[in-house]
Chain A
Amino acid sequence: MHSSPTTARGRTTRALLISAAREVFEADGFHDARISDIAERAGTSYGLFYTYFSSKEEILDEVLTEAMADFVPASLAAAGVSDPQERIAIGIRRYLDAARRHARLFGTLEELALRDPKFRELKFRIRAPYVQRIEDGTRRLQDRGLADQDLDARTVATMLTGMIEHFTLQWFVYGIEADEDLAVATLTRLWVQAIRLQPPSG
Chain B
Amino acid sequence: MAPPSTAIKGGPTTARGRRTRSALVTAAREVFEDVGFRDARISEIATRAGTSYGVFYNYFTGKDAIFDEVFTGVMGEMFSASQAPTGVGDPVEKIRASNRRYLTVAARNARLIAVLEELALRDPQFRDLKLRMREPFLRRIEAGIRRFQEQGIADAHLDPRMAASLLGGMIEHFSMLWFIHDADFDEDVAVDTLTRLWAHALGLQEQAGDDRDVPVPATG
A165 & B196 in contact (Cβ 8 Å cutoff): no
Chain A 142-157 interface mask (CB, 8 Å, partner B; 1/0): 0000001011100110
A20–B198 Cα distance when bound, in Å, is 42
* Chain B nearest Cβ from A167, distance in angstroms: 5
Nearest CB of A to B16, in Å: 38
Taking a contact as CB atoms under 8 Å apart, the answer to whether A163 and B158 are in contact is no
Complex CA distance for A182 and B155, rounded to whole angstroms: 15
Interface size on A, residues (CB 8 A): 41
Is the CB–CB distance between B120 and A174 below 8 Å? yes
Among residues of A, the one whose C-beta sits closest to the C-beta of B196 is A151
| Cα(A124)–Cα(B184), bound, Å | 12
| Of B117, B127, B165, B193, the contact of A159 (CB 8 Å cutoff) | B193
Q: Which residue among B163, B170, B172 has the maximum number of chain A CB atoms within 10 Å of its CB?
A: B170
By CB atoms of chain B within 10 A, which of A124, A159, A170, A187 has the most? A159
| Stretch of B51-59, B77-85, B101-109, B175-183 on the interface side | B175-183
Cβ-based interface call for A176 (8 A): yes
Taking CB atoms, residues of chain B closer than 8 Å to A167 are 165-166, 169
B174 touches A186 (CB 8 A): no
* Interface residue A111 (Cβ < 8 Å from any Cβ of B): yes
A39 within 8 A of B: no
Which size class do B's interface residues fall under?
Answer: 35 or more
> Which of A115, A148, A183, A191 lies in contact with B118, CB distance below 8 A?
A115
Report Cα–Cα, A80/B197, bound state, in Å.
28
Q: Please choose the segment from B41-49, B63-71, B89-97, B199-207 that sits at the chain A interface, where 4 or more of its residues have CB less than 8 A away.
A: B199-207
- Verify A115–B36 contact, CB threshold 8 A: yes
Count: A-B pairs, CB below 8 Å: 108
- Whether A159 pairs with B174 at a CB distance below 8 angstroms is yes
* Interface residue? B167 (CB, 8 A): yes
The reply to whether B121 and A111 contact each other, CB–CB distance below 8 Å, is: yes
Chain A hits for B177, CB < 8 A: 158, 162
The answer to whether B183 touches A160 (Cβ under 8 A) is: no
CB distance from B33 to the nearest CB of A (A): 13
Instruction: Give B contacts to A, CB under 8 Å.
Output: 36, 114, 117-118, 120-122, 127, 130-131, 155, 157-159, 162-163, 165-167, 169-170, 172-174, 177, 180-183, 185, 189-190, 193-194, 196-198, 200-203, 210-211
20 more CB-based (< 8 A) A-B contacts, given A29-B122, A166-B170: A110-B121, A114-B117, A114-B180, A120-B180, A120-B181, A120-B182, A150-B210, A151-B197, A156-B193, A156-B197, A158-B183, A160-B170, A162-B170, A167-B169, A182-B162, A186-B163, A189-B157, A190-B163, A193-B202, A193-B203
